[in-house]
C-alpha cells in the first residue's frame, strides 16, 4: 500500500496537489479538514469541530484520530491513501503508525511542501474569496493557524525524519511545477 502523508502549513497547496496525486496514482484522498466540514452541521461533533476550526485551533487528538480511523476504514480495498492535514501532532502520528501497523502496512513517505510565511498568508487571503471559510478570511485567525502549525505540527516532520521517510518539496512556483516535483518524489520511492 502506498501511504503518503502530504504535509505543510495552511495554504501550502496540500488540497490542490492531493487531487492531482489521487488522479495519477489512483489513491484515496483523506483530508481531516474536509471530513470535519462535511459533518452534518446540526450534529454535536460538527459543532465541536467548528468551535476549534473557526478559531484556527486544532481539534483535540482523541476526536481527530477516531474520525481519521473511521474514514480510512471506509476504503478497505484502497491501493493507497494520501493523508492531507493529518497527522498534525506527534500523538496523531504515533496513532497513525499503530493503526497502519495493525493493518500490516505503514506510512511510505511524508512529502512536506515548503512555502515561505508571507506567501502562505497571501494565498489564504486570496482563497477566502472562493472557499467562504471563516478561518481563511481573518488575518488574526490565519496568524493563529500558522503559529499552531509552527508549535504543534512542524515537529511531526521530525517524527518521520527519524524514520528516514521525510522529503521536503519546494512548494513555490506554478501548480504544475509543484505537481511534477511531487510526481518525481513518489516515482523514486
Ligand atoms: P484544514 O482544512 O486542513 O485547513 O483544516 C481546517 C481545520 O480543521 C483546522 O484548523 C483544525 O481546526 C481542524 N483539523 C483538520 N485536521 C486536523 C487534525 N489533523 N488535527 C486537529 N485538527 C484538525
Q: What is the distance in A from the centroid of ligand 1 to the CA of 32?
A: 6
Give the pLDDT confidence score for residue 22 in this predicted structure.
97
User: What pLDDT, on the 0 to 100 scale, is given for residue 90?
Assistant: 98
What pLDDT, on the 0 to 100 scale, is given for residue 47? 98
Share of the chain above pLDDT 90, in %: 100
Atom of ligand 1 nearest to the CA of 92: 19
Residue 110's pLDDT is 98
**Rounded distance, CA 6 to CA 160, Å?**
12
What is the set of domains in the chain, with CATH numbers?
Answer: 2-187 (3.40.50.300)
Q: What is the pLDDT of residues 85-120, one digit of tens each?
A: 999 999 999 999 999 999 999 999 999 999 999 999
d(CA 59, CA 36): 9
* CA 28/CA 21 separation, integer angstroms: 9
List pLDDT tens digits, range 17-74.
999 999 999 999 999 999 999 999 999 999 999 999 999 999 999 999 999 999 999 9
Q: Which residues make beta-bridge pairs with 80?
A: 2
Establish whether residue 18 lines the binding site of ligand 1, counting it when its CB lies within 6 angstroms of any ligand atom: no
Position 56 scores a pLDDT of 97
Average pLDDT score over the chain: 97
Residue nearest to ligand 1 atom 1, measured at CA: 33
Amino acid at each position: 500500500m502506498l501511504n503518503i502523508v502530504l504535509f505543510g502549513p495552511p495554504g501550502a497547496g496540500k488540497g490542490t496537489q492531493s487531487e492531482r496525486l489521487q488522479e495519477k496514482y489512483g489513491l484515496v484522498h483523506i483530508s481531516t479538514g474536509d471530513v470535519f466540514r462535511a459533518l452534518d452541521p446540526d450534529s454535536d461533533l460538527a459543532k465541536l469541530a467548528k468551535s476549534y476550526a473557526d478559531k484556527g485551533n486544532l481539534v483535540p487528538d482523541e476526536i481527530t484520530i477516531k474520525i481519521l480511523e473511521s474514514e480510512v476504514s471506509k476504503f478497505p480495498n484502497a491501493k493507497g491513501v494520501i493523508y492531507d492535514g493529518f497527522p498534525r501532532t506527534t500523538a496523531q502520528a504515533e496513532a497513525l503508525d499503530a493503526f497502519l501497523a495493525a493493518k500490516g502496512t505503514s506510512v511510505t513517505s511524508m512529502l512536506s511542501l515548503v512555502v515561505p510565511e508571507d506567501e502562505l498568508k497571501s494565498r489564504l487571503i486570496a482563497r477566502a474569496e472562493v472557499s467562504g471559510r471563516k478561518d481563511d478570511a481573518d488575518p488574526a485567525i490565519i496568524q493563529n493557524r500558522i503559529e499552531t502549525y509552527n508549535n504543534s505540527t512542524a515537529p511531526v516532520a521530525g517524527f518521520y525524519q527519524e524514520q528516514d521517510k521525510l522529503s521536503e518539496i519546494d512548494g513555490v512556483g506554478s501548480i504544475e511545477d509543484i505537481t511534477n516535483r511531487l510526481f518525481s518524489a513518489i516515482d523514486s520511492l
